[in-house]
Amino acid sequence: MFNLLKKTTLAAVIAATAALAAPKPLTVWIMPNGASPQEKLEQRLEIFTKRTGIPTKVEVLDWGVAWSRISQALDGKLDAPDVLQLGTTWIPYFASRKEIKPLNGWLKDIQPERFVPVSWNTTHIDADTVIYSVPWFIDVRPLLANKRIFKKNGLTKESVSTYEGFREALKKINASDESLDDGLKVHAYAFPGKSDWNILHNFAPWVWSNGGSFLEKDSTGKWHSNILSKNTLKGIESYLKFILDSLVSTDFLQLNTSQVTQRFNNGELAFIVNTTDVVMQTRFDGAMGGLAEARLGQDSVMVLPFPRGSTGSVSFIGGSNLAIPSSCKRSEAKDLLLFLIEDENLDAYTKQIGLLPSSKKVLEAWSEDEDYKELVKSLETGRAYVSIPEWGELEQLLVNMFSNVWDHMEIPSLYSVDKLYEMFSQYSHEIDRRLNYQATDVMTLAEFKEIWSAEKKDINRNVSIDENDIKKAVVEDNLKKAPFVFIAIVILSFLINFARKRKK
């Protein structure tokens, strides 16, 4: 009995000692990047554990709660992870609060020259030399097309390369009046409407491709609202005209990104502007979270450059970086961060989630794939939001503004240029207030109307009209006039007869 107790005690001591000797897991917080994000990252981290002997733990935060959870953790209200994923636009805010670690001392190991410039520019606060994060993957949003519908309508890459050409393509597809075998109608193009979290990302490329911007620096280097500028308004109106000209149904303004994407995946839409993970998903079967068996997988997807505006083709670029909380005391966190940004790991992980790796070398290899070649090329002219601490709250203001715009436009007959000016002016003023900027040259309603009507004429002038559409319009116009012509003839006949009777 004594020996048994002795052995049990010894075993317990050995187990306790082993437990104390075992290293504590390094924790990583990520968001739901692609299908099965936790499983895919854990597969890579098994290599790290074999290499270092340090276990890891991955926790996935839903995008809807990520900001709140991360804010509380970095503020000390919750236990913080050792390494975490942050959206590129979140970096300046947490950096300005000193809640993520400066990484300048590790730049020799990180090697900034390895990364794409547009991605590396998101690692710090604007005009600051302190680096607070490292690029992980890139979210670039080109024009995606259903290849079957695209080819069926005789379209080419060149024919949709401009804004005007893209509009003509939408007209052609809508006029084809195609329905799928289950009766669902094929629409040319759709985008989510009010209150969707992607709403600003959807407006941005149309604004940028026309030389506009949401914010601008003055001659003294101060940021201010640029909504009420000619080029920005031109970009906004070019996007609104998809609804105003009935190229996109107002019904879609009730949908969110997920619902619109599902329509595209189901073969109901010819075009969509969205994240590129759908390209990779068409190459995996359903068991792996892919779309190979879905309609889009059968029809195939094409990657096209964003339609050129007056100043070029500019895609939206976002993505995520990796950072270390300032409260982290473990030196091994650096090893984990450096492991995750190794070319081999960037290549393997981004292939799983379908977004672009941030490494130039890896992207060079990806360019051998025809679809990804187009995506990599778009990084040269793509654009990200400005890296300032205030951007988070300003982005929400802009989301609210464009949500109100779509809300106003749901009933086209109530469309009012005066109302648009009122909204743009209100939010422009609020943005300047948040930036502590005193605007001195504010656009008047008369100036706004002059620009808005001028842009409308320019767009109409650039769009060719189908001859059949002209004939149809003439017939409809004549039919509208017919009752009035008939009444005029009756009245004229009565007057003539009345005059004749008086002569008799």
The reported pLDDT for the residue numbered 412 is: 76
Average the pLDDT over 391-411 and give the result: 94
Residues 6+ apart with CB under 8 A from 198: 192, 257
* DSSP string covering 465-487: --HHHHHHHHHHHHHHHHHHHHH
Instruction: Provide, rounded to the nearest whole percent, the portion of the chain with pLDDT above 90.
Output: 75
Residue 455 pLDDT greater than 70, yes or no: no
The pTM assigned to this predicted structure is: 0.84
- Reported as a pLDDT band with limits 50, 70 and 90, residue 491 is low
> What's the pLDDT tens digit per position in 245-283?
999 999 999 999 999 999 999 999 999 999 988 898 898
Question: CA–CA distance from 363 to each of 45, 134, 423 (Å)?
Answer: 22, 16, 42
Task: Report the amino acid identity of residue 19.
Answer: A
The reported pLDDT for the residue numbered 235 is: 97
Question: CA–CA distance from 226 to each of 7, 426, 431, 443 (Å)?
Answer: 77, 13, 9, 11
The reported pLDDT for the residue numbered 479 is: 45
- Reported as a pLDDT band with limits 50, 70 and 90, residue 219 is very high
Residues 6+ apart with CB under 8 A from 18: none
Residue 503 pLDDT greater than 70, yes or no: no
The reported pLDDT for the residue numbered 18 is: 45
Q: Is 187 helix (H, G, I), strand (E, B) or coil?
A: strand
The reported pLDDT for the residue numbered 453 is: 76
Residue 151 pLDDT greater than 90, yes or no: yes
Rg (C-alpha) for the chain, rounded Å, is 29
- Average pLDDT of the chain? 88
Q: Is 32 helix (H, G, I), strand (E, B) or coil?
A: coil
> What's the pLDDT tens digit per position in 109-139?
999 999 999 999 999 999 899 999 999 999 9
- Reported as a pLDDT band with limits 50, 70 and 90, residue 370 is confident
Task: Report the amino acid identity of residue 369.
Answer: D
Residue 457 pLDDT greater than 80, yes or no: no
> What's the pLDDT tens digit per position in 81-96?
999 999 999 999 999 9
d(CA 94, CA 73): 11
- Reported as a pLDDT band with limits 50, 70 and 90, residue 462 is very low
6-10, 123-127, 220-224, 476-480: which range is least confident on average? 476-480
Nearest alpha carbon to residue 102 among 328, 376, 351:
328
The reported pLDDT for the residue numbered 9 is: 56
d(CA 224, CA 219): 11
Nearest alpha carbon to residue 371 among 268, 486, 279, 484:
279
Average the pLDDT over 47-67 and give the result: 95
Residue 169 pLDDT greater than 90, yes or no: yes
Contact 407, 194 (CB under 8 A): yes
d(CA 67, CA 50): 32
Half-sphere exposure of 188 (CA within 13 A, CB side): 21
The reported pLDDT for the residue numbered 371 is: 86
Per the rule left: phi > 0, alpha: psi between -120 and 50, beta: everything else, 111 is left
Task: Report the amino acid identity of residue 86.
Answer: L
